[in-house]
Structure 1
């Protein structure tokens, strides 16, 4: 099973160098863009070194927390990128970073959850989970919520590390490695599962509020029947949307888990959502937009095919994605046309730029950070 799992990761998700993976088409050439919007970089910084893990910065009102590879963690001033503190942990960080409740939290390959004091970087507590942690912890309402590789979701007290609740459902024998953290909104924890199910859990006690099938396994072989949700769901108003690999995109009522609409799509990169549209990067690197309320297809942009395009992020009046060569591409949300392009350090941008309001933060594989401003 482990051999199959590794082959699937390398061949489909492209975690190894794309030039050495013979069953993946060559990336499309870098498009030439007649820019109508100038990229706006507020500041840039370099933290850490080359890594195979998918790290994404975490925002608070004042700070940006970032993992730089290996066991290095840093807290930066959001306004100018100045380093407040750096810390090298005893554990090898694999699960990204979360920030909130005056702490910073990370997860390790050995299943450690480590919480540090936000003001000083001092380690406050460390607890063990049952499996490696490769998804970023989420901090909300005094809880640190962690998803481990065995599918368990655990909630710990942000102040003490005490286990408050744990959720687990049976996992299929073959599944993709899942870097997607849960999403918390309105007192509900939304978790994308293996085998294409979306779970809604009560934040305070972890009880299941509802579960909904996003995709159903199909195909003759076990490999063809993998329909895991390996990107975080997105929430807007009374709707939560998720997408499955080799499955479909579906939007669900947050109230009762009933299906609002669904469309065929396969994605491991993920989604973004705004008032009007849902955006998705599919498994071929095509970026699509659907009308949020109805699922009607609005546009499809194919010029970045097989460039290992990240999930989209909404930044002001643009949609932005990263690619395998560290380029940021800006799209018009109305038409999908490319309106801007920005080079970084030449290394891959695994995850969507983390957007908060009129700003977004992109992190490259080499640990370079770019704070982007809305145009």
Structure 2
């Protein structure tokens, strides 16, 4: 695992964050055998070697690939930039601050540099032709997606590490200092703020906000909670704990929900770092099931299944109605897996070597692979296209084979 821990302490009314070490190292230190007081070396599990697919099938074909660069990258921030896609456009962001528009054939249309490291990835609103990004310094910026002209910028109290949600004339963002923000899409003015509890120790990163319904945003926070807020005014409707950390130390009690919750057919699914996978029936507000699995990645769902990737590299498919395990694969153990996504009739998962693996959802077998350059942190699907951006700055798009 490569995510870093965020320590927060109050000093003169401000939250101070310091990245100190990897979660796995600190967790091992806190669970060391009593009596071992020096010379502790964390156990590092090597990624499993890939086994050749006996009879691979063709699932994805390349559309285009481009290197957007990764200059001036900061190791203090998770490298998890995402691509904006829509209106026959592709908009990419680099850590060096380059925002670039392409057409779907891969031809460069425009490029601007924002003079800061982009951290939040790209959100593209097709109706207003607006692209939203955020920077390490806490700036949120809006650009014309057709020309690259900047419309406005807004300074926030903390940096934003995930893409924004654009809906109902609002730009909804989850900042790393625990504040949720609703900005005007037209001019960037702050319309509402909502403060959440920030634990003393948490994973540096946040889940991207998502739509619960047309008027409601769902946001997950570092204290293991889900918050439903009205998009227009930020009015809190309800809050529910998902992650429940246990243990004697603050590290063992971390309960971050960093993977974006999934809402599908009036059911809500979420997973936490502390090891709870939960399914909720939204009509009755009743919990359908709670399973034990730890992850910082978003889930994937289809008509029958919920699919998750665990911290140690398992890919697990559950029955979405009762949470029973349908199959579990350790073929990619310790390969620092991305979130799973559904693409056509397959489940796609990326890894630390830039390989995208396609699973048969019925059997859990890997049936196909495609490759890009650099470690992958997240996958995106738009219709029949799969999009990736690696930590080295390689953006790749594949099309489903008909």
Task: Specify if TM > 0.5.
Answer: yes
Partner of 1:145: 172
1:98-155 Cα distance to aligned partner (Å, 9 max, x none): 1103111111111110111112101111111111121112222221111110111101
Partner of 1:336: 364
Partner of 2:96: 70
> Residues of 2 paired with 1:368 and 1:12: CA distance?
31
Shifted more, 62-71 versus 305-314: the winner is 62-71
Do 2:172 and 2:231's aligned partners in 1 also have CA atoms closer than 8 Å?
no
**Which one of the candidate residues 382, 385, 388 is aligned to 1:356?**
382
State yes or no: 1:90 paired with 2:110: no
What is the CA distance between 1:256 and its match in structure 2? 6.0
Partner of 1:268: 296
1:311-349 Cα distance to aligned partner (Å, 9 max, x none): 10110011111111111111111111000112212x100
Partner of 1:159: 186
**Helix, strand or coil at the partner of 2:303:** coil
Partner of 1:40: 61
1:72-102 Cα distance to aligned partner (Å, 9 max, x none): 1112213x12222111112221111111031
> Residues of 1 paired with 2:284 and 2:143: CA distance?
37
What is the CA distance between 1:10 and its match in structure 2? 6.9
> Residues of 1 paired with 2:255 and 2:274: CA distance?
5
- Residues 9 and 132 of structure 1, relative CA distance in 2, 3 Å threshold: farther
What is the CA distance between 1:310 and its match in structure 2? 0.5
**Which one of the candidate residues 46, 63, 74 is aligned to 1:26?**
46
> Residues of 1 paired with 2:265 and 2:234: CA distance?
22
**Which one of the candidate residues 17, 20, 33 is aligned to 1:6?**
20
Do 1:31 and 1:304's aligned partners in 2 also have CA atoms closer than 8 Å?
no
Partner of 1:195: 223
**Which one of the candidate residues 136, 139, 154 is aligned to 1:109?**
136
- Residues 185 and 66 of structure 1, relative CA distance in 2, 3 Å threshold: farther
Partner of 1:128: 155
Do 1:233 and 1:271's aligned partners in 2 also have CA atoms closer than 8 Å?
yes
Partner of 1:282: 310
What is the CA distance between 1:267 and its match in structure 2? 0.4
1:276-295 Cα distance to aligned partner (Å, 9 max, x none): 21110001110011111221
Do 1:5 and 1:174's aligned partners in 2 also have CA atoms closer than 8 Å?
no
| 1:215-230 equivalence runs, <5 A | 215-230=243-258
Say how many residue pairs are matched: 365
- Residues 341 and 114 of structure 1, relative CA distance in 2, 3 Å threshold: same
- Residues 304 and 81 of structure 1, relative CA distance in 2, 3 Å threshold: same
| 1:299-318 equivalence runs, <5 A | 299-318=327-346
State yes or no: 1:231 paired with 2:259: yes
Q: Which runs of 5+ in 2 are unaligned?
A: 1-6, 9-16, 28-40
Do 1:5 and 1:175's aligned partners in 2 also have CA atoms closer than 8 Å?
no
Instruction: Give TM-score scaled by structure 2 length.
Output: 0.86
Instruction: Give TM-score scaled by structure 1 length.
Output: 0.92
Do 2:212 and 2:228's aligned partners in 1 also have CA atoms closer than 8 Å?
no
> Residues of 1 paired with 2:70 and 2:357: CA distance?
23
**Helix, strand or coil at the partner of 2:331:** coil
> Residues of 2 paired with 1:374 and 1:37: CA distance?
12
> Residues of 2 paired with 1:329 and 1:178: CA distance?
25
> Residues of 1 paired with 2:318 and 2:144: CA distance?
41
1:242-293 Cα distance to aligned partner (Å, 9 max, x none): 1000221112233464322211110012311122211100011100111112
Do 1:326 and 1:364's aligned partners in 2 also have CA atoms closer than 8 Å?
yes
- Residues 35 and 67 of structure 1, relative CA distance in 2, 3 Å threshold: farther
